[in-house]
Amino acid sequence: MHEVKEVGAAELIYEGNSYKYPVIEGSEGERSIRMGSLRADTKLISYDPGYGNTASCISDITFIDGEKGILRHRGYPIDELANNCTFIEVAYLLVHGHLPNQNQLTYFSRLLNRHSLIHEDMRNFFKNYPDHAHPMAILSAMMVSLSSFYPELNVGEGEEMDLTVARLLAKIRTLAALSYKQSEGHPHVYPSSKMTYVENFLNMMFYTPVANYELDPVTVRALNKLLILHADHEQNCSTSAVRLVGSSGANLYASIAAGICALWGPLHGGANQAVIEMLDQIRREGLTIDACIERSKDKDDPFRLMGFGHRVYKSYDPRAKIAKQACEDVLNKLGIKDELLDIAIQLEDRALNDDYFVSRKLYPNVDFYTGITLRAMGIPTNMFTVIFAIGRAPGWIAHWLEQRDDPDQRIGRPRQVYTGPQERKIIPIENRD
C-alpha cells in the first residue's frame, strides 16, 4: 500500500485551547485531517451522519472524483477496463493490484473452473428454502454457510490467496444461479469447464432439460461490462459493511455475506430494480414525461424519479454512459423494442435540459440503464441485486485483504452522541404510574 504524505496541519481551537492535527494527502491530491487523537485531546468526537466526510481507511484500490466524474481502479479508468478487459481480468486487478499477463490469467481462470462446484451436501440447503424465497436471502445465507464446508480457510499469500479468492468468486456465481433456479422451482444446472465465467452464469441460469439455452455473444459481452461496472466503488455501504465485519477478525465468507445483506437494501444495490418499477409505473399509468418531471420536484408528492443523482457523483456517472451503450447493444441485437427504454431516454433528455436537475447536479447514475439491460436478457427483477453482488465480490475481497494487511486498522467502533434520559432510579412496580 502506498504511504500518504503529511502536507500541513489543521488547528482546532476549543475552550481557549489550541490543538493541531496533521493534514495528509493521497496520491490524487485528496486531503484529510488525521484526527485519531481528537477525543483523547479534547473529549470531543465528530458527528458525521452517514460518514460522508469521514475517511475510515487509507486505500489504493479505487479512486473517485465525484465532481469530475472520474472512476479508476488501480489507476485504470473505468471505461478502458469495461471496453478492453474481461470481468476476470478486472477481478484479478482489484485483488492483486495489477492486470494479469496471459499465463496468470490462464492459471486464475483454471482455478475458477476447478472450484466452481459447491459441495453436494449444500444442495440440501437449497431444497429447504420455499420456492418464493428471495434469491438475495438465499445467496447471503449460502455464502456464510461456505465457511462451514471450508473451515480450513486461511487466506495467506501467493497460491493460497489465489485459491481462496478463486473459490469464492467461482462459488458466488454458482450459488447465485442456483438461488434463481430454486426460486423458480427448476432443477439445478452444473457449471461447465468449457465456458467462460459469464457464459457459465447465463447457462446455469437459463438452461433447462427441455430447452437448450443458446449463448449470444452480445449478451455475454454486455453482462461482462455490467459486472465490471459494479466491481468496486470505494467505501460504499456494502464495502464498509465488509470491512466493519472483517475488522472483528471474522472470516472472508462471513464478511462477504454481510456485504450481500447490505447490498440488498433498495437505497444501495436494489436501486436498479426501483428504476424498472418506476418506469413500469409511468407506462402503466400513462404518465407524461413532463408530468413525471414536475411531480419529482414536488416534495409532497410520493412520486420519485429513480436512477438520478448519486451520493458521490456531482456530474454524469461515468458508469452510466457505458451502461447505456450496453443496453442499446443488447436491445438492438435481440431486436427488442422496449417501451421502458423509450421512457428512460425521454426522461434523461428532459432532465438533462431542466434547470432544476442541472443546478442540483442530478444526472443519470449506473442504475438507470442496467435494469433495462438485465430485463432484456430475461433476468427477473429479483435477480438484479444478485447480479450486482457477483460483480461487487472482487471489490469486497480486495478491501477485506487490504484491511487485513493494514497495520493502522483496528476493530470498527463508531462513537455516538447520546440523547436519552440521564441516570434515574428504579421505582418499585407497585408505585409506578
Enumerate the active-site residues.
Answer: 310, 367
Q: How many CB atoms lie within 10 A of CB 48?
A: 10
Print the SS3 string covering 269-336.
CCHHHHHHHHHHHHHHHCCCHHHHHHHHHCCCCCCCCCCECCCCCCCCCHHHHHHHHHHHHHHHHHCC
Helices (H), 99-157: 102-114, 122-127, 135-149
Question: Distances from the Cα of 275 to the Cαs of 58, 326, 394, in angstroms?
Answer: 33, 17, 25
Q: How many CB atoms lie within 10 A of CB 154?
A: 11
Retrieve residue 312's grid coordinates: 458521490
Tell me how far the alpha carbon of residue 26 is from its chain's centroid.
Answer: 23
Question: Distances from the Cα of 284 to the Cαs of 277, 278, 340, in angstroms?
Answer: 10, 10, 10
Q: Quick check: 311 and 52 in contact, CB under 8 A?
A: yes
Q: Quick check: 126 and 138 in contact, CB under 8 A?
A: yes
Pairing of strands 70-73, 76-77: antiparallel
Retrieve residue 21's grid coordinates: 492535527
Length of the chain: 433
Q: How many CB atoms lie within 10 A of CB 190?
A: 14
Rg (CA), the chain: 24
Q: How many CB atoms lie within 10 A of CB 97?
A: 14
